[in-house]
Amino acid sequence: MTDQLVIGIAQINPVVGDILGNVKKVRAAWERLGEADLIIYPELVISGYPAEDLVMKPAFAEECRAAVERLAVDTVNGPAMLVGLPWLENSQLYNAVALLDAGQISAVRYKVDLPNYDVFDEKRVFAAGPMPGPINFRDVRIGVPICEDIWSPDVVECLEESGAELLLVPNSSPFELGKAEVRLNHVVARVTESNLPLVYVNQVGGQDELVFDGASFVIDGHRKLRAQLSGWEEDFALTRWQRDQNGSWSCAQGTVAKVPEGLASIYQAAMLGLRDYVNKNGFPGVILGLSGGIDSALSAALAVDALGADRVRCVMMPSPYTSQESLEDAAACAAMLGIEYESISIGPAMQAFDAMLKDAFLGTEVGVTEENIQSRSRGLTLMALSNKFGDMVLSTGNKSEMAVGYATLYGDMCGGYNAIKDIYKTTVFQLSDWRNQYVPLGGKGSPGAVMPERIISKPPSAELRPDQKDEDSLPPYDELDGILQALVEDERSVADVVAAGYNEETVRRVWRLLDLSEYKRRQAPPGPKITRKNFGKDRRYPITNGFRRQI
């Protein structure tokens, strides 16, 4: 009977659909952790997660299986592997984990609890597996609940009653603010109920609007943290296990990494999401409008930290309403970030549109239409530069603006990605101040301040008309964001928000703006999920919607 095990943890960053590339990463980790008896990888590591409807293509599932069969051959002379893949069996497709050992696929287990809420659609593509029994690995009975299987007691209870001695849990659990504590609470609950130690292995990396933060860990049967891998980067660990005279397994104390929290975690998520979106889609770099305002300054800082200054190009596009202060602040910000910066006036475009539309607009008042022409002239300029040179346009609108429609379609909403899409304006201010004091883990930018203090302290303005301020059109951001968080994150009624102390007229106005702006949000570029309810898969409201009652 085996009384000692070395279990390797491979916290890697797969690419959805890149089966050969993912296998290469799996094999590289296998070589790196060659001292292990068994290596565990994240959920669906072979296909990448979430592969969404891609897994329903028969050829895709077949290729994943063939890749794992080839990978299994490696285990003749090395560690065994627990790898996740879509598994087709009897015309049913499962979210599965395969044990590769002694040159073959020696066991397969299926995910039981398929999440079908918020960003998850697993019931759309997978069949739920039966309650699993443990896998016998070298006389050790190992339970392998998959991700959501540990969020309720049933699967772990079944494994414990079936004789499991320890739990290895592959995960692809996306980040949102506060999620780490939620995960830990679920793990501690399962360990408390079963008295079984648990290894939690999470994916890391960005995939479209999801970001995975890694931070894999080991909890022993006494609920003590025995190992903690890094957040926000690939990481690897060898954990050493011993079975005592009572048959219980314990893990030797390992390294406990410090994982960024709070504002630092938000910045890391936005940075990693942007980096992987650009790199995994093969863009040479990004281009964005640098206006002298805080949103574009933070977006530029994130881009430099994610990609390096040499892959970021910024353009100031002044109009007759652009202040000297904004010109100075944009230039100073670019210099502090060390990025390529140029100025292209949109004045000639404004004049051309005025002349072109003169007869059509005859007898009308100058207003929002003319303001939007400015924004669309900037969008057109950035898209022209993107088409000519290949860099992806990075849009810079924050969540507060997206919520109430304070943005211009085909103007400042132009872009392939938006790193701050799910970040409220008040948090934009906090992050900007934070970044001027700290450097993110893995950041490629300056270790010092990255934007002038005046950008953070001055009142926000779109500068589309003389002396314009955001608060001319919107409530103060402290108030607006409090209302939005209640309406969006908590799905609270107007009456509840008013009862919380907000002005009723203001709440009703914000609710109406939120309700009417769905069509804009549907056309916005993707951006990393940060909050509990991002504008995307988390919150799916119909555009055509006749229900306007404020409740």
In this predicted model, what pLDDT tens digit does every residue of 224-243 receive, in sequence order? 999 999 999 999 999 999 99
How far apart are alpha carbons 132 and 142 in whole angstroms? 11
For residue 418, is it left (φ>0), alpha (ψ between -120 and 50) or beta? beta
* Main-chain phi, psi angles of 151, to 5 degrees: -85, -5
Other C-beta atoms lying within 10 Å of the C-beta of residue 293: 22
| Whole-number pLDDT of residue 311 | 98
User: Where would I find the H helices in 338-476?
Assistant: 347-357, 368-389, 399-404, 425-435, 453-457
Count how many domains the chain has.
2
Q: What is the distance between the alpha carbons of residues 36 and 260, in angstroms, rounded to a whole number?
A: 28
pLDDT(371) > 80: yes
Beta bridge partners of 128: none
Identify the domain boundary among 472, 490, 521.
472
Rounded average pLDDT over 303-317: 97
* Span 124-132, average pLDDT: 95
Residue 548 belongs to some domain of the structure:
no
Q: Which amino acid type is present at position 400?
A: S
Is 43 designated active site? yes
In this prediction, residues 517-531 reach a mean pLDDT of 94
Q: Which CATH number fits the domain that encloses residue 32?
A: 3.60.110.10
How does pLDDT run across 245-282, given as a tens digit for each residue? Answer: 888 999 999 999 999 999 999 999 999 999 999 999 99
Residue position matching structure tokens 């230039």: 331
Q: Does residue 526 fall inside a structural domain?
A: no
Task: Name 107's bridge partners.
Answer: 99
* Together in a domain, 359 and 306: yes
283 and 210 within one domain: no
**Measured between alpha carbons, how far is 301 from 534 in angstroms, rounded to an integer?**
22
Is 325 inside any structural domain?
yes
Domain endpoint, select from 259, 288, 303: 259
Handedness of CA 527, 530, 536, 542 (dihedral sign): negative
Q: Are residues 88 and 151 in the same domain?
A: yes
Comparing CA positions, the residue from 203, 73, 96 lying closest to residue 144 is 96
Same domain for 354 and 221: no
Q: Side chain identity at 432, as an amino acid letter?
A: S
Is the pLDDT confidence value at 550 over 90? no
Q: Can you give the CATH number for the domain in which 457 is found?
A: 3.40.50.620
CA-to-CA distance for 326 and 328, rounded, in angstroms? 5
- Does residue 533 lie in a domain region? no
**Residues 292 and 251 grouped into a single domain:** no
Phi, psi values for residue 150, rounded to 5°: -100, 5
Q: Same domain for 254 and 268?
A: no
Helices (H), 450-546: 453-457, 477-484, 494-499, 504-516, 518-522
Separation between Cα atoms, residue 110 and residue 122, nearest integer Å: 13
Tell me which of 64, 147, 251, 414 is the catalytic residue: 147
d(CA 532, CA 490): 9
Last residue of a domain, one of 452, 472, 492: 472
pTM of the shown model: 0.94
Q: Does the pLDDT value for residue 91 go beyond 60? A: yes
User: Domain check: are 157 and 305 in the same one?
Assistant: no
Question: Within this chain, do residues 282 and 223 fall inside the same structural domain, yes or no?
Answer: no
Q: Is residue 369 part of a domain?
A: yes
Question: Is the confidence at residue 185, as pLDDT, over 80?
Answer: yes
Q: Does the residue 349 lie in any domain?
A: yes
229 and 362 part of one domain: no
- Percent of residues, the chain, with pLDDT higher than 70: 98
**Could you say which of 43, 122, 160, 371 is catalytic?**
43
The residues facing 240 across adjacent strands are 6
- Number of Cβ atoms within 10 Å of the Cβ of 114: 22
- The strands making up 340-343's β-sheet, listed across from edge to edge, are 340-343, 312-316, 286-289, 392-393
pLDDT at 464: 67
Could you tell me if 207 and 285 lie in one domain? no
Average pLDDT over residues 528-543: 88
CA distances from 310 to 339, 482, 523 (A): 7, 38, 30
Asked if pLDDT for residue 77 goes beyond 60, the answer is yes
Give DSSP secondary structure letters for 234-287.
Answer: -EEEEEEEEE-TTS-EEE----BPPPP-HHHHHHHHHHHHHHHHHHHTT-S-EE
**Diameter of the chain measured on Cα atoms:** 92
What is the C-alpha to C-alpha distance for residues 191 and 223, in angstroms, rounded to an integer? 7
pLDDT of 509 higher than 80:
yes
Q: Are residues 235 and 302 in the same domain?
A: no
Statement: residue 551 has pLDDT above 60:
no
Read off the pLDDT of residues 411-466 as tens digits, 9 standing for 90 and up. 999 999 999 999 999 999 999 999 999 999 999 998 999 999 999 998 877 666 67
Residue 183 lies in a domain: yes
Q: Find out whether the peptide bond into 318 is cis, omega within 30 degrees of 0.
A: no
Please list, residue by residue across 438-466, b when 16 or more beta carbons sit within 10 angstroms of its beta carbon and e when fewer do: eebbebbbbeebbbbeebbebebbbbbbe
Catalytic residue of the set 25, 111, 280, 529: 111
Instruction: State which residues form the domain around 277.
Output: 263-472
Q: Mean pLDDT of all residues in the chain?
A: 94
Together in a domain, 387 and 361? yes
Say yes or no to pLDDT of 294 above 90: yes
- Those residues with Cβ within 8 angstroms of residue 524's Cβ, 6 or more apart along the chain or in another chain: 395, 397, 402, 407, 413, 418, 421, 535
Domain-located, residue 507: no
Distance CA 352, CA 306 (A): 37
- Three-state SS for 76-124 is HHCCEEEEEEEEEECCEEEEEEEEEECCEEEEEEECCCCCCCCCCCHHH
Better-predicted residue by pLDDT, 395 or 470: 395
What is the C-alpha to C-alpha distance for residues 108 and 84, in angstroms, rounded to an integer?
Answer: 9
The per-residue pLDDT for 131 is 95
